[in-house]
Structure 1
Amino acid sequence: MVKKYVYSFEEGDWKNKKLLGGKGSSLAQMTQLGLPVPPGFTITTEACRDFYAPRREEMEKLVKELERNPPPSVRDEIIKRIWEIIDSLDLPEGLMEQVKEYMKKLEEKTGKEFGSAENPLLVSVRSGAAVSMPGMMDTVLNLGLNDETVRGLAKLSNNEWFAYDAYRRFLQMFGRIVLGIDEKLFDEVFEKYDKEFRKEVESKYPE
């Protein structure tokens, strides 16, 4: 039998912080109290444990090495090995099927469609844990934006600048957090175009 890894805010047991994490249990509690919380779902901490299970001992050893604050060159090599382990692992059986099922439910609740160029559903992905870890948890906002859906967002919001700025921020967050791309690369590109834009504006509208 496939383990249940996903719970909507309406069905999650908010008292079970160990399973839902701090954010997940709080969102479930507020939803079930009738407070105005945007619809969503939580992937359980068990999904994370089951994902790492095949190579947990290796991961724990590498993390302990990082905690010793090694020299930068050694630290970078350890991080590289950690990413190699993560890339070698498979998601727990049934997890993605459950995520897709709950994404469909989100579409029904919001009246939007994930990937739609006309009325796109955008979601925020927030990491969490059973214990509070200030500053340690990552967030990716506006998952669902791409070259097509950003046009739909611009049309719906009637604000093209807002839509493309949100898209830029999404690419930067996804690249840094999910793909491990150095944030400086994004900053360099942004600064380059920012300078070019300012020069163009100054030439058209001199003081």
Structure 2
Amino acid sequence: MAKTATKARSTTGRKPVQKFVYGFEEGGAEMRALLGGKGAGVAEMTKAGMPVPPGFTITTQACLTYLGSGGFPGGMLEEVRHHLRSLEERAGKRLGDEHNPLLVSVRSGAAFSMPGMMDTVLNLGLNRQTLEGLAERTGDRRFALDAYRRFIQMYGRIVLGIEPELFDTELEQAKQSAQVSSDAEL
């Protein structure tokens, strides 16, 4: 039997509040419909003791609520903030920290695999200020710049709906101007 979203008791005495965010360690294969295939899979790997970076999954119910109402479900943003603070503590980094930035990946998922249909944004947390911290921490400015470029490309395409060809054209022109063949060489 598939597990559904649990209800948490409100501390204010109001009706129970639905849970929309689960840490990787809280889920499992039986929650596939709620966590999506990737979320349930990562939860199973975490339970098995496999080396999985810490993280959390926002439920498919949160997505359905958002799509139905045009807004985030009540309490969801607070849950995300709570899990993000926990992630920062575990990683020893902070989102937006100019000297020690936390970078996260945002991956979409569904109950069943749909190769090529689900989007991913990597390096969320990079900006002009955190770029410098990443370059300093890795000792590799070119790597940091390439990670930032990839973030801008993914965010622009997936979140803002910018046509990928616009990025591709600019990137090709920049490589020609710099007389390099690889994106990472810029």
Q: Does 1:153 align with 2:134?
A: yes
Q: How many Å separate the matches in 2 of 1:96 and 1:187? A: 34
The residue number in structure 2 matching 1:189 is 170
Q: Does 1:37 align with 2:52?
A: yes
Q: Does 1:105 align with 2:105?
A: no
Q: How many Å separate the matches in 2 of 1:14 and 1:109? A: 24
1:113 Cα deviation (Å)? Answer: 0.6
Give ranges in structure 1 of 5+ residues lacking alignment: 55-88, 200-207
The residue number in structure 2 matching 1:74 is none
- What amino acid maps onto 2:63 in structure 1? C
Q: How many Å separate the matches in 2 of 1:153 and 1:139? A: 21
Q: How many Å separate the matches in 2 of 1:13 and 1:186? A: 38
Q: Does 1:11 align with 2:4?
A: no
The residue number in structure 1 matching 2:96 is 115
Superposition RMSD in Å = 1.2
Q: TM-score scaled by structure 1? A: 0.77
SS of the residue corresponding to residue 88 of structure 2 reads helix
Question: Which range moves more in the overlay, 13-22 or 98-107?
Answer: 13-22
User: Which string of whole-angstrom CA distances, capped at 9 and with x for unpartnered residues, describes residues 75-121 of structure 1?
Assistant: xxxxxxxxxxxxxx222212222111110000011101110011100
- What amino acid maps onto 1:101 in structure 2? H
The residue number in structure 1 matching 2:158 is 177
Instruction: Select the structure with the greater relative contact order (CA < 8 A; seq sep ≥ 6).
Output: 1
| Contact preservation (8 Å) 2:28, 2:41 | no
Q: Which of these two proteins has the greater Rg computed from alpha carbons?
A: 1
The residue number in structure 1 matching 2:143 is 162
| Contact preservation (8 Å) 2:21, 2:56 | yes
Q: How many Å separate the matches in 1 of 2:29 and 2:99? A: 35
- What amino acid maps onto 2:128 in structure 1? D
1:51 Cα deviation (Å)? Answer: 1.0
| Contact preservation (8 Å) 2:27, 2:40 | yes
For residue 51 of structure 1, the aligned residue among 66, 69, 77 is 66
SS of the residue corresponding to residue 167 of structure 2 reads helix
Q: How many Å separate the matches in 1 of 2:51 and 2:45? A: 8
| Contact preservation (8 Å) 2:36, 2:109 | yes
1:23 Cα deviation (Å)? Answer: 0.6
Q: How many Å separate the matches in 2 of 1:13 and 1:197? A: 49
Percent of paired sites with the same residue: 56
SS of the residue corresponding to residue 30 of structure 2 reads coil
1:144 Cα deviation (Å)? Answer: 0.3
| Contact preservation (8 Å) 2:65, 2:71 | no
